């Protein structure tokens, strides 16, 4: 008998309407609902948010507030702030989750695999020895051990430690 794994949250991603003008990363300066948006912290020019479609538990995205498509479009002060925020996200994940390593990177442009090419973002993905398994290959399914909301609550407790 075959067991079924369900990832119902993925349907929102698969079926969402795609638009050239849509920017899912454009958040106003109203910080009152950052918890609902899963924004963990903001700096003057950047912010860190939980990835709604994570590769691993704790997968974060760091973005500049201003929508640009490439690093060279950031001013010097924005660039320093952006890379500092990436370091803070990594530090927060180290303190909160004690991963064995990280994948940190950006896909710039459609040809490089950028899903939202008009808004630069950096993936900060915690990794653990042995966290890969056969599920993505055999069943096109990623197994996450904790809900996104529970992970947000776990990580938000560590934001003060890195800001």
Nearest partner of 105 among 67, 57, 55, 39, judged by Cα: 55
- Mean pLDDT for the chain overall: 83
Q: Where are the domains of the chain?
A: 31-156
How many angstroms separate the CA atoms of 119 and 104, rounded? Answer: 17
Nearest partner of 63 among 109, 19, 124, judged by Cα: 124
How many angstroms separate the CA atoms of 110 and 70, rounded? Answer: 12
CATH architecture of 31-156: 2-Layer Sandwich (3.30)
| pTM given for the model | 0.76
How many angstroms separate the CA atoms of 28 and 11, rounded? Answer: 26
The predicted-structure confidence for 10-45, as pLDDT tens digits, reads as follows: 677 667 665 555 667 777 666 678 888 899 999 999
Nearest partner of 82 among 67, 99, 101, 96, judged by Cα: 67
6: left (phi over 0), alpha (psi -120 to 50) or beta: beta
The predicted-structure confidence for 43-63, as pLDDT tens digits, reads as follows: 999 999 999 888 888 999 999
Catalytic (active site) residue 65: no
Tokens standing for residue 51: 């990835």
Tokens standing for residue 134: 């056969």
Cα of 144 vs its chain's centroid, Å: 15
How many angstroms separate the CA atoms of 133 and 32, rounded? Answer: 39
Of the candidates 59, 65, 119, 121, the residue annotated as catalytic is 121
CB 45 within 8 A of CB 77: yes
């Amino acid at each position: 008998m075959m067991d079924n794994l369900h990832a119902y949250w993925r349907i929102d991603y698969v079926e969402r309407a795609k638009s050239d003008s849509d920017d899912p990363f454009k958040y106003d300066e109203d910080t009152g609902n950052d918890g609902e948006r899963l924004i963990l912290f903001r700096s003057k020019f950047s912010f860190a948010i939980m990835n709604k479609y994570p590769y691993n538990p704790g997968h974060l995205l760091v973005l500049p507030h201003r929508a640009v498509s490439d690093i060279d479009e950031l001013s010097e002060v924005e660039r320093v702030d952006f890379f500092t925020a990436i370091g803070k996200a990594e530090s927060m994940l180290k303190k909160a989750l004690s991963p064995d390593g990280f994948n940190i990177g950006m896909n710039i442009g459609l040809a490089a695999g950028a899903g939202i090419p008009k808004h630069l973002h950096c993936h900060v993905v915690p990794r653990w020895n042995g966290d890969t398994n056969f599920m993505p290959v055999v069943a096109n399914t990623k197994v996450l051990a904790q809900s996104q909301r529970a992970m947000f609550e776990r990580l938000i407790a560590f934001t003060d430690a890195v800001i």
